[in-house]
């Protein structure tokens, strides 16, 4: 028995049961059967033709006019058949697109992957988690001789355009190596690249810094990025890492201010994305004080465990639903 014959038999059974008993159960079975028809990609006009065939078998003496009316109905349903097939092909296309986005997302991860380098005097912890498939946050470490360059950026505008923009940033940064030494000049140059190349609604916030292990200074500059913190071990106090400057991509002539901080043993440099401070919970926003309190709670642990724990607690507060990408980087001076 072919699949089609099986369907005809089943339809005949169901309709006979219904005509005889007029029961709710029989109707319900009909509903279930339609799901099976959809699974087997049987179109609406095929169902009508199935119905006609079965009615012929069940009622050979059916009124001629009635018979003709079914043929008419069949013609009317053909339009629905087209719509149905179009829907099918759109669904296939959507699945294809989704899998392409998956591929793009994993490619983005690979392309932008930045290894966390080993630096003798620093314990480094990094976490970066996207809210959706594509991450709009970006971080980058480059070891330049002895010095460590670190950047954290937030690309405004979400999804694929932001991801593409991020690749541009990465390659622009890679092509400006001599400026890695001067964060404020690096930002100035990146600003030119971004301003000329992004959509008017898009912009990028970035903090770029350079840790010099020879004299233990951290020089940095910011382009409209959420301020980080510096933890001062000697005073057991967190200070805001203010870095004034306009976001990248808005003003062609922007310049950026250089900052420099001395880092003592036990001090921590904390960089973050605004996904960290824009966390929303059922009780409202998470304030910077609360972030500091979370860092303080876990700061005796190794840097990687610290950032992991802070993320887990914030995730719990947001009921495990990130609204924004989340990036937190901690550099702790150990010797």
**Binding of another protein at residue 190 (CB under 8 A)?**
no
- Residue 269 binding another protein, by CB under 8 A: no
Cβ proximity to another protein: between 44 and 249 the closer is: 249
Q: Which of 42, 150, 153, 246 binds another protein (CB under 8 A)?
A: 246
Report the C-alpha gap between 221 and 182 in whole angstroms. 9
The answer to the question of residue 250 lying near another protein (CB under 8 A) is: yes
Pairing of strands 259-262, 217-223: antiparallel
Gap between the Cα atoms of 308 and 6, Å rounded: 57
Query: Of 136-165, which residues contact another protein (CB under 8 A)?
Result: 154, 156-158
Pick the closest to residue 189 from 205, 203, 169 (CA basis): 169
For the record, the structure tokens of 225 come out as: 């990025």
Q: How far is CA 152 from CA 41, 127, 204, 269, 314, in A?
A: 50, 11, 10, 13, 19
Contacts (Cβ under 8 Å, ≥6 apart) of 27 = 18
Binding status of residue 3 toward another protein by CB under 8 A? no
Is the Cβ–Cβ distance between 181 and 210 less than 8 Å?
yes
Exposed/middle/buried for residue 221 (C-beta within 10 Å: 0-12, 13-18, 19+): buried
User: Judged by CB, which is closer to another protein: 154, or 267?
Assistant: 154
Q: How far is the CB of 333 from another protein (least distance, A)?
A: 26
- Residue 69 or 251 with smaller CB distance to another protein: 251
Nearer to another protein (CB atom), residue 59 or residue 285: 285
Among 220, 267, 274, 276, binds another protein (CB under 8 A): 274
How far is it, in rounded angstroms, from Cα 90 to Cα 75?
24
**Which distant-in-sequence residues (6+ apart) come within 8 Å of 335 by Cβ?**
120, 121, 265
Contact between 324 and another protein per CB under 8 A:
yes
Mask for 78-97, x = binds another protein (CB under 8 A): --------------------
Query: Which of the residues 284 through 323 are near another protein (CB under 8 A)?
Result: 285
Q: Cα dist. 138→25, 169, 306 in Å?
A: 57, 9, 20
CB 257 within 8 A of CB 221: yes
Q: What minimum distance in Å lies between the beta carbon of 94 and another protein?
A: 21
Rule CB under 8 A: is residue 202 a binding residue for another protein? Answer: yes
**241's tokens:** 């890492």
Give the nearest distance from C-beta 287 to another protein in angstroms: 10
Does position 205 bind another protein by CB under 8 A? yes
Asked whether position 270 contacts another protein by CB under 8 A, the answer is no
**Interface pick for another protein out of 227, 292, 302, 312 (rule CB under 8 A):** 227
Closest to another protein by CB, 134 vs 263, is 134
8 Å CB contact between 280 and 259: no
Is residue 245 involved in binding another protein (CB under 8 A)? yes
Q: Is residue 241 within a helix (H) or strand (E), and if so which, with residue range?
A: strand 237-241
Question: What number of other Cβ atoms are within 10 A of residue 312's Cβ?
Answer: 14
Which residues inside 36-55 make contact with another protein, applying CB under 8 A? none
> Counting contacts by CB under 8 A, is residue 207 touching another protein?
no
Task: Quickly count helices (H) and strands (E) in the chain.
Answer: 9, 12
Contact between 247 and another protein per CB under 8 A: yes
Q: Binding residue for another protein (CB under 8 A) from 224, 228, 303, 333? A: 224
Structure tokens at 290: 């609360």
Least distance (Å) between residue 251 CB and another protein: 5
Positions in the binding site for another protein (CB under 8 A): 154, 156-158, 199-203, 205, 223-227, 244-247, 250-251, 274, 278, 285, 324
């Amino acid at each position: 028995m072919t699949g089609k014959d099986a369907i005809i038999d089943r339809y005949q059974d169901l309709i006979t049961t219904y005509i005889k008993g007029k029961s709710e159960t029989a109707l319900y079975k009909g509903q279930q059967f339609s799901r099976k028809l959809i699974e087997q990609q049987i179109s609406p006009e095929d169902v009508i033709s199935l119905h006609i065939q079965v009615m012929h078998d069940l009622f050979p003496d059916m009124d001629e006019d009635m018979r003709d009316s079914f043929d008419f109905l069949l013609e009317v349903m053909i339009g629905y058949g087209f719509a149905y097939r179009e829907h099918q092909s759109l669904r296939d296309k959507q699945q294809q697109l989704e899998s392409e986005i998956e591929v793009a997302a994993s490619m983005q991860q690979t392309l932008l992957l930045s290894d966390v380098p080993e630096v003798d005097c620093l314990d480094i912890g990094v976490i970066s988690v996207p809210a959706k498939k594509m991450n709009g946050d970006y971080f980058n470490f480059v070891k330049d001789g002895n010095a460590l360059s670190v950047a954290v950026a937030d690309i405004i505008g979400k999804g694929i355009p932001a991801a593409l923009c991020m690749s541009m940033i990465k390659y622009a940064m890679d092509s400006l190596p001599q400026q890695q030494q001067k964060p404020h000049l690096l930002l100035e140059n990146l600003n030119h690249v971004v301003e000329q190349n992004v959509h008017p609604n898009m912009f990028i916030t970035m903090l770029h810094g350079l840790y010099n292990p020879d004299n233990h200074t951290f020089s940095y500059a910011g382009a409209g990025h959420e301020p980080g913190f510096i933890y001062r071990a000697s005073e057991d106090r967190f200070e805001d890492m203010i870095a004034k400057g306009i976001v990248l991509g808005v003003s062609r002539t922007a310049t950026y201010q250089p900052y420099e901080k001395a880092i003592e043993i036990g001090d921590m440099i904390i960089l973050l994305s605004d996904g960290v401070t824009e966390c929303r919970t059922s009780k409202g926003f998470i304030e910077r004080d609360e972030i500091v309190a979370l860092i303080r709670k876990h700061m005796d642990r190794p840097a990687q465990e610290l950032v992991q724990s802070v993320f887990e607690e914030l995730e719990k507060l947001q009921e495990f639903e990130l609204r924004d990408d989340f990036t937190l980087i901690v550099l702790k001076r150990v010797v």
